Chains A and B, each alone.
Chain A
C-alpha cells in the first residue's frame, strides 16, 4: 500500500524550481510548475542518468519545415546524458510517449495542521502546523 511522504515545505520549491529528495531509498525530483507540484523518479528510462537534474526546457512546436515555436515553457525535462525529453506532468517521453516513460508519483500540497493527524512519514522534515507541505505518495 502506498505511503505518504512529506518531502518539502511548499515554499522551498518556488515556481520553476525543483528539489531532489530521497523517499524510501529512491531519488525523486519534485517540480513546481506555476504552483502545481509534480514528481518523477530521478532515473532516465533510457540508460539510468539522473533525469531530474537535466535542463528544464519548453516543448518544441512546428507547423512545418522552417517553422519554429515553443509551448509550455518550463514543463519539459531534458535528460543530461542524451537529451531525451520528458513531460514533467506525466513522465512521458516526447519521442515515444506510449513506450518510454519516467515513473511519476502523485503529489499533493497539504497544510501542516492536516498532516499532524497522519498517517504520513516525514523523514527529514519537522512539520509545523502553519506551513504548507509537499507530500509524495509512493
Chain B
C-alpha cells in the first residue's frame, strides 16, 4: 500500500461493508414471537437465505485472505475488525447486510425477517463496535411495510441509510414505493441501492442469461434502469431532500448514461414536465456512488477522463466492500483518482451524503 493511500485511509468512512447473518437460527432471538414459531414450523431456520446474486462459491464473494474458518465470509465481527477496520484505520463503516429477507415473496415474511436482521445487526454488531453504522433493511416490495420498518428503526441514529436492491418487482421510482422515500427523507436517511436483484425479472434486459458472468455484467444496466426510473417518475422532485447512493454499481457506466438521459429528455420531456432541469445536473446533486468496485480503464489517464466526465468531485464515496473481492492486494483505494477528489471521497463526501454522520 502506498503512503498516499495510507494517509488517505486514516479515519476514512467506509460506506460499504457486509456483515453476514451466519445462519437463520441467529435471527430467531431477534424475531417477533409469531414469526419465530413460523420459521420453526416450516423449518426455515435451516435455510440460509443467501441472495442468489451472490452465489456462495463465486470468487467475487470473498477475498481469499478474508475467508473464515467457520461460517460465511463477513459473519465474524472479530475477523472483520482484524481484516479491515484495524489495518485500514477506518473511522466509521456502514454495514449493508445482503440477505434474502428483502426478496421474500410474502411481504409479511419479508417484513418479519427484515425486522429480525435489523435487530440482530444492532445487537450483535453496532452494540459491539462504536465505529459501525448501518443501513435499515426493508421489505422493499411493500412501500407501506417498508415505511413502517423505517419508522420503527429511525430512532436509532446508528442507522444512517435505507437499503434496497437495485432490481426488484418494480422499477424503484414507481409511486407505490413512495412511502419508502417519504419516510427516508423525513428521517434524513439516504436510499442505498445495492447491486443485486430479487429476481422477479432477468438481470439482463434481454432475458435470462446462462451464466453468472452475464448477470454480473448486467447489474450496471440494472442500475441505469433504476436511476432512469427514479428520475422519470419524479422522485427527486417529490422528495427534494432525498439522496440516493448507488452501492457496488461500478462507476464508469454513469457518464454515458447521463449524456443519453440528457439527450432523450430534451426531445420527450412532455412526458415528464416536472423534470425541470438537465437530468445529469439532478444526478450530480443527488446521486452518490461507492467507489468499489471501480470498473476503470487500466491506465490512470483513462480513469481521470471518466471521472472528469462525471462532472463533480462530490459523488464518489470510499468503500472497501468487505469481504467481497473486488480488488487485489490490500489497497482498497483505486489507483489513479486525482488527489483532490480522493481526499473528498474518503470522508467529506460521506458526511455530506449521510446527515446522520455529520455529528459523528
Chain A residues with CB under 8 Å of chain B are 60-69, 82-84, 95-96
Contacts and interface: CB of A to CB of B under 8 A. Distances in A.
Interface residues of B, number: 16
B237 A84 contact: no
A64 B175 CA distance: 13
Interface stretch (B48-56, B147-155, B266-274): B266-274
Contacts of B274: 62-67
Contact of B266 (A61, A62, A65, A83): A83
Interface string B259-289: 0000001111110011010100000000000
Interface string B215-243: 00000000000000000011101100000
Contacts of B273: 60-62, 67-69
Instruction: Rank and list the top 5 A-B pairs by shortest CB-CB distance, nearest first.
Output: A65-B234, A62-B273, A60-B273, A83-B267, A62-B274
A95 B268 CA distance: 11
A64 B238 contact: yes
B262 to A, nearest CB: 8
Contacts of A66: 175, 234, 274
Interface of B: 175, 233-235, 237-238, 265-270, 273-274, 276, 278
Contacts of A84: 266-267
Given A65-B238, A95-B278, A96-B278, A60 B270 contact: yes
Nearest to A81: B267
A65 B174 CA distance: 11
B56 to A, nearest CB: 41
A98 to B, nearest CB: 12
Contacts of B265: 95
Given A62-B273, A95-B278, A96-B278, A82 B267 contact: yes
Contacts of B276: 62
Nearest to B265: A95
Contacts of B234: 64-66
Contact of A83 (B235, B237, B238, B268): B268
